[in-house]
Amino acid sequence: MPVSRKYTAYRKALEQLKLRQLDVFRYKDHDEVRVLTPNNRVVLIKLPKRREEMTVDEFIEHVKKSIA
């Protein structure tokens, strides 16, 4: 599966939460996602593991906790 399609579900999940994905930093054991909130605040969300190792629901829950 091409990389551009592989991560679309995660980007769409962020859009459902009214967040805009700016960057994704990939490390050996985790990813960090930089998002823009509706009030124009930039937030760096460190995920516990790589996105593809998480379900979309797990991803959404972690993002919600991180921006609360």
Q: Is the pTM of this model over 0.75?
A: yes
pLDDT score recorded for residue 5: 76
Q: Which residues of the chain have pLDDT under 70?
A: 1-4
CA–CA dist 39, 42 (Å, integer): 9
pLDDT score recorded for residue 13: 96
- Quickly list DSSP for 11-49: HHHHHHTT-EEEEEEE-SS-EEEEEE-TTS-EEEEE-SS
pLDDT score recorded for residue 2: 55
pLDDT score recorded for residue 3: 55
Domain that holds residue 58: 3-67
For the chain, the domain total comes to 1
